[in-house]
Amino acid sequence: MDYNYHTHTYRCSHASGTEEEYIKRAIECGVKYMGFSEHIPFIFPDGHESGYRLPVSETQDYFCTLYNLREKYKNQIDIKIGFEMEYYPEYFEQMLQNSVLVGCEYLILGQHFLYNEYPAGKYVGTPTEAEDDLQDYTDCVISGIESGVFTYVAHPDVLNFCGNMKLYDKNMREICRAAKEYNVPLEINFLGMRDNRNYPNEEFWKIAGEEKTPVTFGFDAHDAQTTFDEDSLLKAKDMVKRYNLNYTGKPELINIPFV
């Protein structure tokens, strides 16, 4: 695996390590194509700023630091600068425009909250049996896929749904079919493996295999060491074989249109 476009640093407040530490580790491990994807900076209309995002005040430094490092290591690795972003119906256009204005080079879709996140959203990792939660997650991910601005969907199986599994199958199958139709890969997420989270969800990937949805990998690095994670890579390769997944390798980055 010589690529990874899912990388966070200390700037998101739930990771550690500087950009250069990540880059050095990636080069040592043979990564040739690397993308930084901090959680998109955003201030809600009433001034609320989520604590897990790149702070708006650090956005310029994030880009300037990576521009300089990209030049420094240009003969050793190809570096792109992007964001991980949700699809929130109420704020999508504003988030997208903000990303373009600051120079974002690609986006990955990571749906971390339901119901526009704030002020009354739900974190997708919280166990839920509510069918409304499942439907909102499905609708947002499919809308994100159909928007044409996301390079791939990060941890598409992140929703911790514990309710009607026939309904889960139906909804996740709709996501997989949309991803196939629009040729947007779904990511097997290595952070979920490392932390023994509710994802990767075996039921989801069984569906993805049946639907022949394009699949990619993402280290989802939150420290320099996990800029390359061989243990999770071996597990992901095993999943590809077990579920006959349509692994398409390094994703093609999608240019973000100005809105």
Overall fold of domain 3-247: TIM Barrel (3.20.20)
Report pTM.
0.95
d(CA 17, CA 10): 5
3-state secondary structure of 122: strand
Q: Which of 89, 225, 210, 84 is nearest to 155 (CA)?
A: 84
Report the pLDDT averaged over residues 93-105: 95
**What pLDDT, in 10s, does the model give residues 172-193?**
999 999 999 999 999 999 999 9
For residue 13, the model assigns a pLDDT of 87
pLDDT in tens, 231-248: 999 999 999 999 999 999
User: Is it the case that residue 28 has pLDDT exceeding 90?
Assistant: yes
Q: Which residues contact 161 (CB under 8 A, 6 or more apart)?
A: 128, 129, 133, 134, 137, 168
109's tokens = 């879709």
Report how far residue 170's alpha carbon sits from residue 140's, in angstroms, rounded to the nearest whole number.
Answer: 15
pLDDT of residue 259: 55
Nearest to residue 178, comparing CAs of 207, 220, 198? 207
